Structures are given as C-alpha cells and as structure tokens.
Amino acid sequence: MCRLPGEGGGLPLVAFVALAVVRPAAEPPAHEAVRQARLLERAFVDVTARVETVVVRIEAMTRPAGDAGSPWEGDDGSGGWGPPRPPGDPPSPSPARPVVPRGGSGIVITPDGCVLTNEHVIAGAERIVVRLHDGRRLDARVRGIDPDTDLAVVCVPAEGLPTAPFGDSDGVKAGQWAIAIGAPFGLEHTVTVGHISGTGRVIDMPHVRFQDFIQTDASINPGNSGGPLVDLDGKVVGVNSAILGVGTGVGFAIPASLAERVGRQLVADGKVVRPWLGLELQDLGAELADALGAPPGGGAVVLEVLPGGPAADSGLRPGDALVTLDGRPLRSPHDLANRIARGRIGQEVEVGYVRHGKRGRIRIATGPGPIPDVDWPDLRPQGDARPLGLHVAPALGRTSPLPEGGAGALVQRVDPGGLAAASGLLAGDVILSVGPRPVRSSDDVASALASAPRRHVALVVWREGTRKVMALERPTPEAGPGPASAPRH
C-alpha cells in the first residue's frame, strides 16, 4: 500500500492542510484586466459614435462693447488679438473691433434642423451660424429663448437630421459615468469622460430662476455650453451650461427632464409659459426656521404675495414658512419653483406652511406665469443683407515686399458689422486674388465677387509677410450696390 509522506505521525498532514488554507487566491491574469478595461473603453467609443452626429458647433456673431478686452471674450475662449489699447492712445482709423464669433455647442432635437442650446451662447448675436456634424455651415434663426432656464432653440434650413434621445435625468445618481461632448475652445466634437458628482445643485446664477443642476467632473470648458451630457446608454441626461472656473472639474448641466420640456415648448410656440403661484420667496435657513417655529431641514419664506397672482386670495402672508408641497418636504424656493413648473396650469397644489409656530395647509390653483419680454433681432437664415463693408486701394507703392510682383488690393478700412469684418479681414491686409482672378483695385474685387458662382468666395490674402486663404460671403442684392469701394476723402 502506498503511504502519504508523514503517515502515522499526523503533523505533516496538518501542515499541508494549513498551507492550503492560507495560500492567497491567484490573481486574475493581466490579460483579463485588460479585457475588462477594453470593454469599458468600447462602451465609451460606441456612445460617442451614436451621439456625436447630433452635436453641433454654434458661432454667435457679436460686436464687443468698448475698446477694452479681447474681441473673443465669449464662450469659445479662442484667445485675443493682443492687449487692449493703452489709455490715452488715439484710436486706430480702422475699426479694431470687427463682428466676431462667440462659440458654443448645441443638440439637434428635430429632423428639420431645430437645435437646443444655452441662451447665453447666442445672447446679443447679430448673426448665428451652426456647423453640423457633416461639415455644413448654415445660418440660423432664433425660434425662441427662455432666460429663466438659460435655454434657447435656433433652427437651420436642413432636413433628415439625426436627433438626440433624451434619458431619465430624474433617476441620475452620483457616481454614474458621464460623457460630455461639445466644442471647448472651438475644438469640435471633443469628448470627455467623468462621473455624476451630485444632483439638485443651486449655483450663483441669479438670472436663472429654475435651477436644479446636475454636477459633473467630466471636463467642461468654455465652448461646451449647450452640448450634451450623456450616460452609458447614449441618452442625453443634461445640457452642459456652467463651470466653476476653467479646469476645476466642477461643471453643471441642466437636467434633461427640464431641457427637453422647454425645448419642445420653444419649438412649438417660440416661448415658454409655465405655472406659478405668484409668490416672492427666500431660503428658510436653520436659524430662521427656529425663529418662525418651523421644523429644520429647508423650505421657503414668503416675502410677498403678488397682487393678482394665483396665491393672492389664498390667505398666505409675508413671513409664512412654506415647508411642504403636496405632502412632500420642500428644500428651497428653487425646489418649489421647479416642482410647480413641472405641473399643469390650473392644477391645484397643497401647500403646507407654518405661521407663528402653528401648522396649516392651503390649496392653490396655479396660474400662467409671466413671459420674459425679449426683443430679439430678426436674423436672416437664408441670406445676409449686410453690406460688404470693405474699402480697398491699389497696393502698388507699399514699402513692404509683396509676392506676385507687388500686385494686389490694399484693405484700407473694414466696416464693423459688414461681411468683410465677419470673414476676418483686417485693415492692412492685401488681397491678392478673389477666386481664380488676381486683383489690383476695388473694381477688380467688385467684378470678381459679382461673377463668383457660389455664396462664398475664396480670397488669397497677404498679411504681415504670410499668405492666407479666407472665405468671404458675397452680399445679397438688397445689401446695396458696390460690394467694394475705394476710400473717399
């Protein structure tokens, strides 16, 4: 009979068993960890491929006020054209502040070209251009804006566009993966990955009345505004809207439940009418709650019951502490406004309040809230009636050397607000050719533009010893005669 080593004494067998118990489990092979990482990587890649086709870049052409600061102090953070003019220096005879683009992002929400973005991305724009995923640049018109949520819808002439699927932002929880897509600093279709850091955030944006932000550490920078924050299913859970300093990893998105609802109303009606109670409120802090005999934990204090509002005859008074809505605790005035806004106009709600330490309940039927009075310029989506705004003269006699034997048309002035300013032309540039035709004078420029077959024409420009190629939009007939002119003295 075969005997095990140590048979008869027992000790070696005990030692063998003990070794088997304490031996650590074998680590999975390295290739298994890599395989799992690649599965997650594939999820990010797949989501990006599905979502990026609905993300657009938005250029809002604005005219910066005053002479100080960079002309690019907008959401695309593209950098400036040098320092501001020192105090006391005389202004240049040529305008130094052309109409320039301030950039952001947007989400296609209808197949016929309506795009959801932030109101602050397009605020004050004289012209809005949307760059689609396929590279087309289309002029947009404003369909409607809602400053109370910092949302807006612009529309471009397009058909058959892919649209964004919206997810359940109410179910979003801290710790979930989050993917932001947009055009930070003008870098289109930039993808960053992070997590949901928190929900229900109220931040220092007093002009935005309805705040229930999702916080994320997915990198959001200037230019991301208006772009989507999506989950691993490729559904939009938020519209990126604000950051707490560039590169801090603290960004905020408008929840999809709010953004989708506002977007639908703006597309349908060009405005948002939401229910309200007609109350001016402030936060109910712990000390104030104690002073009013209200329970701790949040709520709102009535500052004013607005005459003619839905709550005018409800019996509520200034100083009442509102603590519940339809039986659920209230966290803040923003919480009350958000929950009321989700309902229907005319719907009855039950408000629980505390007055001098005594609880009460009252029912109020909501009414239509005020609509912000917005005076928006009439933007032209199909053509631009702005003048060219370009003043040129022969470039012969310039002291700086020019290519092509010194031929060209010298840009002596660029009018702000004109098409030439929008193209980026500057005083001092020398136009060498318009399309395939070399030019020497304003007549050459005008003739070449008039005969160009397309809406935009390519210019070859000489600037500070470097050749550049630029696209100039041709003026429409209603812009007036003479697209280019020599200076008058």
| pLDDT exceeds cutoff 50 at 96 | no
Q: Which of 382, 417, 452 is the last residue of a domain?
A: 382
Instruction: Give pLDDT, residue 26.
Output: 62
Based on the fold, state whether residues 125 and 226 are members of the same structural domain. yes
Based on the fold, state whether residues 164 and 110 are members of the same structural domain. yes
Based on the fold, state whether residues 243 and 340 are members of the same structural domain. no
| pLDDT exceeds cutoff 80 at 110 | yes
Based on the fold, state whether residues 291 and 264 are members of the same structural domain. no
Based on the fold, state whether residues 423 and 314 are members of the same structural domain. no
Based on the fold, state whether residues 255 and 136 are members of the same structural domain. yes
Higher-pLDDT residue of 226, 440: 226
18 lies in a domain? no
CATH code, domain with 349 = 2.30.42.10
pLDDT band, very low/low/confident/very high, at 444 (cuts 50, 70, 90): confident
Based on the fold, state whether residues 408 and 477 are members of the same structural domain. yes
User: What average pLDDT score do residues 236-249 get?
Assistant: 88
Measured CA to CA, the distance from residue 185 to residue 130 in angstroms comes to 16
Instruction: Give pLDDT, residue 482.
Output: 39
Q: Which of 355, 382, 409 is the last residue of a domain?
A: 382
| pLDDT exceeds cutoff 90 at 79 | no
Mean pLDDT computed over every residue of the chain = 81
| pLDDT exceeds cutoff 50 at 91 | no
84 lies in a domain? no
pLDDT band, very low/low/confident/very high, at 340 (cuts 50, 70, 90): very high
Based on the fold, state whether residues 98 and 52 are members of the same structural domain. yes
87 lies in a domain? no
| pLDDT exceeds cutoff 70 at 406 | no
Instruction: Give pLDDT, residue 202.
Output: 87
List the domain range (segments joined by +) for residue 350.
Answer: 278-368
Higher-pLDDT residue of 220, 412: 220
CATH code, domain with 152 = 2.40.10.120
253 lies in a domain? yes
| pLDDT exceeds cutoff 60 at 397 | no
Total structural domains within the chain: 3
Based on the fold, state whether residues 311 and 457 are members of the same structural domain. no
Q: Which residues are catalytic?
A: 120, 150, 225
Instruction: Give pLDDT, residue 387.
Output: 73
Based on the fold, state whether residues 135 and 240 are members of the same structural domain. yes
Q: pTM of the entire structure?
A: 0.68
459 lies in a domain? yes
Q: Which of 336, 352, 382 is the last residue of a domain?
A: 382
pLDDT band, very low/low/confident/very high, at 145 (cuts 50, 70, 90): very high
Based on the fold, state whether residues 297 and 258 are members of the same structural domain. no
pLDDT band, very low/low/confident/very high, at 114 (cuts 50, 70, 90): very high
pLDDT band, very low/low/confident/very high, at 422 (cuts 50, 70, 90): confident
Based on the fold, state whether residues 378 and 395 are members of the same structural domain. no
86 lies in a domain? no
Percent of the chain at pLDDT exceeding 70 = 77
3 lies in a domain? no
